[in-house]
Homo-oligomer: A and B are copies of this chain.
C-alpha cells in the first residue's frame, strides 16, 4: 500500500520545504535518485550500486518514487524478467536538490572507509 507521506500542508510559509522533503526522505531514496541521474537502469543494476539496501527495501523505495511520479518503471514482457527504471521529468527536476545535498554531504558527512571486512 503506497502510503501517503505528504498528506496535508496547511501550515505556514516554508512548509513546501517540508513537503519537498517528504518526497525524498525514506532510507534510500536520495541515493536511488542520485544514481538514476546517470541514466536508465535495471533493478539489479541499482541494487549493486547500493549494496547495503536489501531487495525488499529497494523495491519499496522504487515503488514509492514511482507513486510520487518521480521515476518511471518499464517492464519488458520477457522471460528472464527485465525492468527498467528512469527518471520522469518531475524526478529530473529534483536534480538541483540532490546536487545541493551531494555537495553539502561531501563536505560535511564523514564517510566510513570500508574497514570492517578487511580488518578482520
Contacts and interface: CB of A to CB of B under 8 A. Distances in A.
Number of copies: 2
A18 interface: yes
Given A93-B107, A96-B100, A108-B90, A114 B17 contact: no
A21 B61 CA distance: 15
A96 B90 contact: no
B106 A16 contact: yes
A-side interface mostly: helix
Interface in A1-54: 6, 8-12, 14-21, 23-25, 27-28, 30-31, 33-35, 49-52
Interface of A: 6, 8-12, 14-21, 23-25, 27-28, 30-31, 33-35, 49-52, 90, 93-94, 96-116
